[in-house]
Amino acid sequence: MSTVTSGPTTERDARPLIACHECDLVQREPAVPPGGALRCCRCRAVLYRRRKGGFDRALAYALTALVLWAISNAFPIVGLSVNGDLVETTLWGAVRVLYRDGMWPLAGLVLVTTILMPALQALGMVWLLLPLHLHRTPWHADVVFRLLRIARNWGMTEVLMLGLLVAVVKLAHIASVVTGPALWSLTALMLLLVAASSAFDERDMWARVQSAPSGMPGDTPLRGPTAAASGICVCHDCGLCTRGAQRHEHLSCPRCGATLHLRKPGSLSRTWAFLSAAAILYIPANTLPVMNTSSLFGAQKDTILSGVAYLWHSGSWPLAIIVFIASIAVPMLKILAICYLAASANLRMTQQSAQRARIYRIVELVGRWSMLDIYVIAVLVALVQFSAVATIEAGPASIAFGAVVVLTMFAAMSFDPRLIWDVETPREEPR
């Protein structure tokens, strides 16, 4: 694990200058060995990982992932057998049932995060890497690269797999569960998407597409220790440093076309708006029914907390703990954490900047796992459709809970972590 340097020695003067995308500190970039990572010397954010294995391995993983994606969406995931009747569902089937029941916001959320985004992630890597393998330049590499970044943020195959596990445990107490071929292909798809992302070196790709380096020349004149002080923008998508921006000026990255800004415009106001909406919706998400069950024995309305209690009393206490953490604790703690970060930026706090930077990275990492309950609901609603025995429908809380997850993710994306460090002056400037 390497750390960028900011010392004044003559040997380092020839090294390019790079800016941290989280704290904006300008630093000198050392060489990174294969498999190593470059960390900021102030906030410890990972600036760059040099991947091992090359493009061929990433391309092979991505091509295989595309095949598995087709299998995962063409065949049933799981089935439920009751009195000789077998009900099976695919991902498309779950989306269709939710839409038919009037839960179109939930259907759209499941469609985007479990079907469209994983396909876009695999297809985007193939689109970029296959021409490079053939020694050609990818067509519209800038647009595809930005779409690939979006797909990585919103593709949630790993959360879906955990949701399927929880759903299978619940269904096992109702009837016989039959696993479909798509369950195993989804598992392989999840692993291959992770492997492809781990082998895909974005900086190396841009070095082959365009010869422009990501950092500024080592002799670039600076007016301060941060990129903003010198009018340098670092692209949050491809990492390219661009000079010439002013505080209120909006530019486009000359390499990937992403919008550049010294600081995210309206960062705190948008963060507070998303947080306020999420906090309001958190109450109905946990008090209203998330599922409505109708059976021969009557009707039952379940909340998220009652679902946790059911798993606990049925002996599946590990899953009960996971669901409680992902569906109740994480959304609440995420709202409180982002509130703390936004309030500290508003108050221009100077204490514990490194700790707040770590909190921001944790919030970004765990936010997607709150989607767990949404996927459990989607599978249960699609499978338990025995009109003569039992049926399950999504309740109003499911839409509120899905909105909470999306709003907190938007709040984390809107918050500019560089605001944490703007009130500090680094002890050492690059020379």
- Give residue-wise pLDDT tens across range 370-390: 898 899 888 888 887 655 556
Please give the Cα distance from 429 to 416 (Å, whole number): 22
State how beta strands 176-179 and 241-243 pair.
unpaired
Query: CATH number for the 264-426 domain, one of 1.10.8, 1.20.58, 1.20.120, 1.20.140?
Result: 1.20.140
Higher pLDDT among residues 10 and 184, named by residue: 184
Whether residue 54 is predicted with pLDDT greater than 80 in this model: the reply is no
Whether residue 426 is predicted with pLDDT greater than 60 in this model: the reply is no
Please give the Cα distance from 128 to 141 (Å, whole number): 6
Q: Where are the beta strands (DSSP E) in 272-318?
A: 291-295, 298-302
Quote the longest CA-to-CA distance of the chain.
Answer: 82
pLDDT level of residue 53 (50, 70, 90 thresholds): low
The predicted-structure confidence for 302-318, as pLDDT tens digits, reads as follows 888 888 887 888 777 88
- The pLDDT value recorded for residue 73 is 93
pLDDT level of residue 144 (50, 70, 90 thresholds): very high
Higher pLDDT among residues 211 and 362, named by residue: 362
Q: Which of 49, 50, 63 is nearest to 127 (CA)?
A: 63
Any idea where the domains of the chain sit in the sequence?
Answer: 52-210+255-260, 264-426
Whether residue 142 is predicted with pLDDT greater than 70 in this model: the reply is yes
Count of other CB atoms within 10 angstroms of residue 84: 5
Whether residue 72 is predicted with pLDDT greater than 60 in this model: the reply is yes
- The pLDDT value recorded for residue 390 is 66
In this structure, what token pair is assigned to residue 208?
């082959």
Specify burial of residue 78 (Cβ count, 10 A radius: 0-12, 13-18, 19+): buried
Contact 16, 217 (CB under 8 A): yes
Q: At what angle do helices 117-133 and 202-209 cross, to 10 degrees?
A: 50
Q: Classify the phi-psi angles of 205: left when phi > 0, otherwise alpha if psi is within -120 to 50, otherwise beta.
A: alpha
- The pLDDT value recorded for residue 280 is 96
User: Position of tokens 């492997």?
Assistant: 195
Whether residue 255 is predicted with pLDDT greater than 60 in this model: the reply is yes
Please give the Cα distance from 247 to 252 (Å, whole number): 14
Q: Which residues pair with 301 in a beta bridge?
A: 292
Q: Average pLDDT in the 334-346 region?
A: 95
Q: What are phi and psi of 135, to 5 degrees?
A: 60, 40
- CA-angle at 372, arms to 370 and 377, nearest 5°: 125
Q: Is residue 365 classed as helix, strand or coil in its secondary structure? A: helix
Whether residue 1 is predicted with pLDDT greater than 70 in this model: the reply is no
Specify burial of residue 53 (Cβ count, 10 A radius: 0-12, 13-18, 19+): middle
Please give the Cα distance from 95 to 114 (Å, whole number): 10
Q: What are phi and psi of 198, to 5 degrees?
A: -70, -30
User: Position of tokens 């020349």?
Assistant: 217
Whether residue 223 is predicted with pLDDT greater than 90 in this model: the reply is no
**Predicted model pTM:** 0.86
Q: Where are the beta strands (DSSP E) in 20-138?
A: 26-28, 37-39, 46-49, 78-82, 85-89
Summary mean pLDDT of the chain: 85
* Residues 6 or more apart whose Cβ sits within 8 Å of residue 135: none
Q: Which residues pair with 85 in a beta bridge?
A: 82
Q: Average pLDDT in the 65-90 region?
A: 87
In this structure, what token pair is assigned to residue 256?
């990937």
The predicted-structure confidence for 107-133, as pLDDT tens digits, reads as follows 999 999 999 999 999 999 999 999 999
Contact 397, 285 (CB under 8 A): yes
